[in-house]
Amino acid sequence: MLEVPPDLSDNICMMNERILISADDTIAEVDGVEFQIRNISESDHEGHSWIYLELEDGREFLSYDDGETWTNELDA
């Protein structure tokens, strides 16, 4: 089992198992629960692209692989 030193544990980002976005980009299903999308946008900088997602409850997520996986590193 991998142990994380206490001083580094606050920097670990959670990966969500599943976020699905509706075809009209208005609803996100996060781990089986639906939320209104407040903002969704795609950005690119020097060949690196990402999708930014903000939910109605204020949570923010990033995807660096076209929505296959998501991280909430903005909330960390």
User: Cα–Cα distance between 19 and 4 in angstroms, integer?
Assistant: 27
**Quick one: 52 exposed, middle or buried, by C-beta within 10 A (0-12, 13-18, 19+)?**
middle
| Token duo for residue 68 | 């296959």
56, 42 contact by CB (below 8 A): no
Provide the pLDDT for residue 28.
Answer: 97
Other residues' Cβ atoms within 10 Å of the Cβ of residue 4: 10
The tens digit of pLDDT for each residue in 13-69 reads 556 457 999 999 999 999 899 999 999 999 998 888 999 999 999 999 999 999 999
Q: Which domain holds residue 54?
A: 40-76
**Is 66 a domain residue?**
yes
Q: Is residue 46 part of a domain?
A: yes
pLDDT at residue 3 in the model: 45
What is the spatial distance between Cα 5 and Cα 70, in angstroms, rounded to a whole number? 24
The count of structural domains within the chain is 1
